[in-house]
Structure formats: structure tokens, C-alpha cells
Chain A
Amino acid sequence: MLFNTTGFFAFLIIVLALYYIVPLSWKARKIMLLLASYVFYGLWNPPLILLLLISTLVDWTAGQKLAKTEDPGARKRWLLLSIFVNLGFLGFFKYGNFLMENFQMLVGLFGVSYTPPKWDILLPMGISFYTFQTMSYTIDLYFKRIQPARTFLDFALYVTFFPQLVAGPIVRSDELVPQFYEPKRATQQQFFTGLLLLTIGLFQKTVFADSVLSPVSEDIFGTGDQLLALDAWTGVLAFSGQIFFDFAGYSLCAIGIAGMLGFSLSDNFRYPYGSIGFSELWRRWHISLSSWLRDYLYIPLGGNRYSNIRTYINLMLTMLLGGLWHGAAWTFVAWGFLHGLYLAVERLLRNIVKLKADNLFIQLILAFLTFTCVNITWVFFRAKDFGAAMKLLGSMFFVHGEKALLTTNDLVLVLTLMTLVFLGHFFMRRHSLVGVLQRTPLWLLVAGWGIMIFGLMIVQTSGQQFIYFQF
């Protein structure tokens, strides 16, 4: 079920009514939330609920065993079982075809002709999110960083909690599970802040991402032609904005809906396009994934505890796998490689050049440089293959390009919006959205909220899927 559909609103109203109006015990309300989460997921494809159930059962069992046994061998086996099942699901459903294609290519290099059967595998929505989330639970238990969930119901709800089930944030168990122990009821402030965040998130998704930016990025990335640099850059900027508004919008919706139910989820985006440098970018973009990769991949690999070379290798490996997490294609790996390269170069430069960036203008220049480099990476993320990516990059850097594609209306809208996004992110770097909302005068807040609700009513997009659902 998608947040940006009328069906979801009916669903949410029913859930809120059952949660707040019907007099149920806390346990019954949690069971209701769990069932609602399965309905939320199952209305897309009912049989795939089985995957969620298996993941839940395996990780609950492994977690219980890890909490009780001290035998190192047994603990390792239970952890491996959890990782094997979760990565197995991910590998089969998400990377099955990719692995077969690459195997075919590899054996082809040795003159062996092998044509694998074509698998028509359906990618379960949000599988990358909930598998990472449940894996973090067993890994944390293995390292004794957390306490196990008290009941199966609490754990099952942690795995399937519908606001963040299909596109994150990837919540750690110690952040969410303890919130299930005591009855929760949102305060009026919490409920309506949640509703406001839901409105802002939906506005970002439907008005900015789907209505203004998506058609332009589709035009540019869909054409096979060589374009004028202006059109090529505008298309890439449009995608840059689209993926931000789409994903940050979803995260805001998730945080908002959880808030309406009385739960709190942490930020997933903090004005990433205003970042100065790439290490800051990754502290602001998809925070729950970057911290997951840091804690469960980069640090276990050694992090920066060993030699400089080893640190760079760890950084690059983490970003390459981070790229692959996004999609089963080498273009995503290239996207990760570029980010790894940026991070490595930034680290190298920081050791050599001692730049004092306390001047606002210099900060703005550095943020713009970062934003520009990020946009280049999005070409590989969005292009259907390397040929298309290189052609678009050629157009962006004046290697070739004759064809104009976009209307002036599109150029004006995208360039204006993305200039505002960049400046807005830059000047909001030290602020939080909720903090700003709390300081906003009442009349302005009411007008802004009303205009956003109006925007949602007139936008008339056809319930386009969130981009990150496919990851």
C-alpha cells in the first residue's frame, strides 16, 4: 500500500480509530497494529507475507538462543543462520538474475556458452529494508549490545511496523522495541506534529517529486539522444530533486505516522544537499542506512583503526556494497564507487590541505561543489546502463550535444526549485524541521499547512510508487 493513495488514508483512519477510540488493552492494540501491518504489506502481494513471517520467526528464534546461550560455537551458528536466511532472501529475490547474468558472462570469457533459464522473480517490496533491520537485531544480540525483545509480539511488530516497513528508516531494535513495552498514546502536540510531517512528506512526494521533477528526469534519462548541456544538467538536477523528495518525503511520512501513534522514529535526512564534503553528506543522507553500513560493515572491516591504505579499502568496500544494496546492476556499483572515491579524496585532502571554511561564502562554494559532484553520481544511479550514463555525462560536459528537449516551463520550474532546494538545505544545515515548525508564527503555519493540503488535493498524480520501494 502506498502512502500517496486514497486507499491508504482510509486504512490510516481505520487504524487510528481502532487504536484510539475502541477500548482495547495495550496488548490487543499491538496485535491490531501487527495485523494492520500485515494487511498494509499483503494488499500488495499476499503470498509475500510469508517472507516477512519467516524472517520474523528465524530472527526471533536466533535472538532468543543468542540471549540464552554462552557457548561461542552455538552463538556463532545462530548468528550465521540469521544472516544466511536474510541474505539468502535478498540474494535470491534481488540479486538472483544479476548473479546468473554475471556468471553467464564470466563463463563466456572462457569460451563456455551457457544460457541460464530466465527467472521471472518478483522483488518483494522493501526487502532490503526489513532484512537489514532484522539482521541488525541478531548481530547486536551476538555482540551483546542490546537486550532481546521481551515478547514475540514486540519483536514481530518491530519487524513489520507499517509506517517504516517498506522504505525505512532502518530502525535499530533498541530504538523501537522498548517503545512497545509501555502503552503509547500520542499527545495532541505529537499527533498533530505527526500529521503535519505526513502532510509535508506527501507534498514533497506528490507535488515536487512526481508532478514537477519526475516527468523531466524521465524525459532526459529516457531519451537516447545527445543533448544540450543545459537540458542534460536540468534533467540530472530534476532526478537529484526527485529522489530526495521521494525518499525524504517517504521518511517524513513514516516518522509522522509513527508520531500520530505515539512512537518516535529518528530522522533519516538532514538537509543533505547543503553538505560541505561527502563525509558530511553521508551523515545527512539516508542516515539509517549509512549508519547501518558504518556499524555493521565499515567498523567490522576495521574502519580507520589500521593503516591509511586499509582505511581507504574499507571505505571503498563499504560504498561499493552500499551501491549494490540499492540495486542489482553494475551502474549502482559505479555510483557507490564514485562516492567511495569522493570520500577517499576528501580524506586525503583533509590530511594535506588545512582549509578553514568558516567564511559563509567559502562554505557556500564548497557546498555547491559537493552538490555538483553528487549530481554526477546520480547519472549512474538513474541511467539504464553505462552507455546511457556516458552519453548523458558527455552532454553535461559539452563533449557533444545538439538537441534541446525540455520546454522553457520545465527549465524554469526545475532550475528554480533546485536552486531553492540547494540554498534551503545550505541555510538549514544547523536547524531541524520540527524546530523551525515550532518557531513558525501560527498564521504562517496554518496558511502553509492549508496550502500543502490543497496541493495534495489538486496534484492528481496516479499513485506513483516511491523510488526506494524497489530497493
Chain B
Amino acid sequence: MKLKLSTFIAALCVAFALLLQYEWYFRNVERWPPGYDNNADLWAYWRGKVEKLDEKDVVIVGSSRGQFDLNIHLWDSITGRRPVMLAIPGGSPYHTVEDIVVNTDFKGLLLVSTAPGLFYSLGSGGGAAWVKAEMVDYYQKQTYAQKFSQWCYEFIDPHFAYTDPDISLKHLTERLPFPNRDSIEGGTVWPPMVRMDRYRNVRMIPEMENDTSFQNQQTRIWHHPEWKNRYKDSADVIIGHYADLARKFQERGGRVAFIRPPVTGEYLEFEPQMFPRDQYWDRLLRESGSKGYHFQDNPVSREMIPPEWSHLNRRDADIYTRLIIELLRNDQLL
């Protein structure tokens, strides 16, 4: 048979008909929001901006709590400067801090968010090694072709829900119902939780804030031992690493502050047991010579209840952002 333009258009119609239903299903049934992918290319784009910042600017590093719990647009409206958001869900800031201190001349405020189960991972450990390979090194080696592709992809990505990597075809195959052998755990099926914009500012979606079925699905994941407190490596090495970098950064005029965002549920129960405050948090601040803001030290943040134990809803994220700005200003770090 002959292939013609009409054949291709008919095939495109089939593809778009399927895509429309697919998008409709994920957007309206599973409630995935459209938004930007939290991917290495966008991270690399903002990492590139650090090179041009001055001493009044702020860079936020850390894991998902740092990214989800601070509203950088609100920060901008209060301070006149929008922080560069480089926190990475599921990752430790071990290599990001090193990259900024060693490879840039940035002299502003470096705000390091700590989630103990990820933060106390060695550079070669599970919480940090992938950040180096997939983010920090990726930025250093990113090609023009990759930058160009990301630029093109941004015309599509923010308008669709189905482009979320958590519902990629690979992740969907993990939902197949075949029972596993006794020693095998299936893949993690994530519920939708947040929506991210081009500035990597993340806001929790209303479904996760209000719907207990979403919250329960997420807390069941956090309850799993693999996710509860993922990594616990040598405190000596890790704190030493941050302390060395903080000193170096401070010597060139930069400021460093650590934050420990609010948690509840099993995180509130187990994190203090696994990472006793005096041996970890207090020691980190002492040895790095830096200021730190632990959520339990403030009556406002102490009372915050993250809907799924680990991340704040939009209202609390805004309150927490204002609080951190106020604390930083009180200490003349901002």
C-alpha cells in the first residue's frame, strides 16, 4: 500500500486521541497536576545562574523539604531577591554545597536544608552519590544539544500532567499486578503531591493537603524502612565535610545557615532517636560555625503538621518562609 500524508495524519489523530484520554485520566482521575519536571536539565539551568549572583542573593540547597517548604516567590516579594532553588528531592546536599563552594565565587547566603535520613549520607552513599552523577556532574558536562532539548521541551512540559516522570511508562509497568517472590519488594507507586514551576518553586497540591487517601498512600511509603530514615553514615566525616566547606565559604565572605524543617508522624518519632540532636544538629552548627534554625526551637514551626509527615502544605510553607526570613534577618544573615 502507498503511504501518504493522509496516512500520517490519520496516525497522528489516533495518537492524539489516545493521548487526550491518557492526559484526562491522569489529570482528572489520579489528580496529577500539569507542571514542570523536576529534572536535571532544569536544575542545571538554575545552577548556571549561581555564577552570576552577588552577596545579597540566596541559594537554597538540600532535599525535598528544603524545596517544598520554602516559597521562593513569597521570599522574593518580601526581600526583593528570589533565591535560586537547588534543593533536590531524595538527595543530600553533600556534593551541591561542595560544588558551590569550590567551583563558584558565590558569596551570598547558602541556606542548607537538612533532612537527617538523607543529609547524613556520605558522598559515596545512596543519598549523595546520585546527586553528583546526575545533577552536579551533569551540569558540568551538559552539552548544547541537551540545553537546546530542554528549551524545546519546556514548550510542552508545563502544560501536561502525563509528562511527570513518576507516571512514565517504566513506572506504570511497576503497577502490573503480578505478585512478587517473597524476598522481592515491588517498585514504589507515588501519589501526586506537588506542582513545580519553572523557578523550581514547589507547592503542595490541594488533594494532598486535604484528601486522606492521598496522605495515607504517601505515609505508607514513608512508613517503609527504606524511606523512613534512609541513610546513616559516619557523622564525623559528614559533619567534617560541611564544616570545612562552611569555613572556606565564610572566609571568602559568604554566609551559611542550616534549617531543619518541620516533620510529624513517624518522622517526628524516629528521627530524634536515630539522629540525636546533640550528636548531629548541635554538633553540625558548632563545628561549622554557622547559624541553624531547628523547627522545634520555634513555637510557630513546632506546631506545624505536614499532611504526609514530611512536607508542609501551602499555607504552612508560606508561614515557614516568613519565619525563616525573619530569623535570618534577626541574625543579620539577610
Contact = CB atoms under 8 A, between A and B. Distances in A.
Contacts of B40: 462
A409 B169 CA distance: 13
Nearest to A463: B149
Q: Is the interface of A mostly helix, strand, loop or mixed?
A: helix
Query: How extensive is the interface on chain A, given as a class?
Result: 35 or more
Contacts of B13: 450
A408 B8 contact: no
Interface in B34-84: 39-40
B7 A192 contact: yes
A8 B149 contact: yes
B144 A460 contact: no
B272 interface: no
Nearest to A453: B15
B18 A451 contact: yes
A196 B181 contact: no
A386 interface: no
A459 B168 contact: yes
A46 interface: yes
A43 to B, nearest CB: 4
Interface stretch (B172-180, B195-203, B240-248): B172-180
Contacts of B156: 6
A446 B11 contact: yes
A453 to B, nearest CB: 4
B125 interface: no
Contacts of B165: 460, 462
A215 B143 CA distance: 24
Interface residues of B, number: 50
B15 A408 contact: no
Contacts of B153: 6-7
Contacts of B185: 407
A439 B3 CA distance: 11
Interface in B138-171: 143-146, 148-153, 156, 162-165, 167-170
A219 to B, nearest CB: 11
B19 interface: yes
Nearest to A462: B39
B22 interface: yes
A461 interface: yes
A427 interface: no
Contacts of B181: 404, 408
B186 interface: yes
B4 interface: yes
Contacts of A412: 176, 178
Contact of B143 (A43, A192, A404, A445): A43
B144 A46 contact: yes
A407 B163 contact: no
A5 B4 CA distance: 25
A45 B147 CA distance: 12
Given A408-B178, A440-B1, A449 B11 contact: yes
A29 B254 CA distance: 55
Given A404-B184, A406-B184, A407-B180, A459 B1 contact: no
A439 B149 CA distance: 36
B268 interface: no
B10 A450 contact: yes
Contacts of B8: 192, 195, 449
Nearest to B11: A449
Interface string A185-218: 0001100110110000000000100011001000
Contact of A5 (B11, B149, B167): B149
Interface in B222-240: none
A409 B164 CA distance: 21
A342 to B, nearest CB: 34
B301 to A, nearest CB: 36
B162 A458 contact: yes
A103 interface: no
A43 B178 contact: no
B29 interface: no
A227 to B, nearest CB: 12
Interface of B: 1-5, 7-8, 10-15, 17-19, 22, 39-40, 143-146, 148-153, 156, 162-165, 167-170, 173-174, 176, 178-181, 183-187
10 contacts: A7-B146, A7-B148, A188-B4, A192-B8, A407-B186, A407-B187, A409-B173, A412-B176, A450-B10, A460-B162
Given A6-B153, A44-B144, 4 more contacts: A192-B4, A438-B1, A454-B15, A461-B170
Q: Which 9 A-B pairs have the closest CB atoms?
A: A450-B14, A7-B149, A460-B168, A449-B11, A453-B15, A192-B3, A43-B145, A408-B178, A6-B152
